[in-house]
Amino acid sequence: MQINWKKTPLIPAIAQDFETNEVLMLAYMNEEAYNLTLSTGYAHYFSRSKQRIWKKGESSNHTQEIKDMLLDCDADTLVLKIKQNGVACHTGTKSCFFTSVTQNRRVLEKEVDTDAMYGVVDTLYHTVLERKNSNDTKKSWTKKLLNDKALMLSKIREEADEVCVAIDEESDEQVIYESADLLYHTIVGLGYRDISPDRVKQELARRFGMSGIEEKENRVPKITK
């Protein structure tokens, strides 16, 4: 049985511990990720948030060694029998499924501190997403910004202006402080739109070797509403 990639260009891939059968995570594969997984023996996925292929553990080294791959009867879903090196979840939890809906609480604790592995920007972005998807009623500035688009946009504009003033008139320390504020509020904006910072990194990487003038000339014209 073969996967019809033209019919289903992106299929769910369930990672399951090959010894315990515990479900560790769910991700997606396109044909390229599928073929890389087969050829390398390690799980590769297509990230819908990053819009690119990624090898599981490329940042953390918490890789998934393939022991078997099972295709379902409709040939549109995979189960990966894997040996998990480290933990499966970017949060440092063994499994990505650690929140009980019926109990409304976390049922698995973090086993590894992954903050240093992923970097402060990625960690902050995922924290923003957690606030966004949380029903917690505790006071949170991030949650307030996410719930009030006008406030969020006004803060980004305000912080951008304060960075300009700091660069023009103030100390290096103040430039750093104001830049951190701008970066935080911008990441909240990215979280509001569900745009991973990785895509910004990809765009910056694309521009290497290209002059600023050439890059501007090649931009797709904005569509005005």
CATH number, domain containing residue 158: 1.10.287.1080
> Which residue, 72, 197, 206, is CA-closest to 125?
197
* Same-domain status, 20 and 62: yes
- Residues 155-200 have pLDDT tens digits of 999 999 999 999 999 999 999 999 999 999 999 999 999 999 999 9
Q: How many domains does the chain have?
A: 2
pTM greater than 0.85 (yes/no): no
> Which residue, 140, 178, 133, is CA-closest to 160?
178
- Residues 31-57 have pLDDT tens digits of 999 999 999 999 999 999 899 999 999
Q: Which bin fits 198, alpha (ψ -120 to 50), beta or left (φ > 0)?
A: alpha
Domain housing 130: 119-208
Q: Enumerate residues 6+ apart whose C-beta is below 8 A from 214.
A: none
Task: Specify if 216 maps to a domain.
Answer: no
Task: Specify if 123 maps to a domain.
Answer: yes
Task: Specify if 3 maps to a domain.
Answer: no
Q: What is the CATH number of the domain that holds 71?
A: 3.10.20.810
Task: Specify if 6 maps to a domain.
Answer: no
Q: Return the structure tokens found at 170.
A: 């103030």
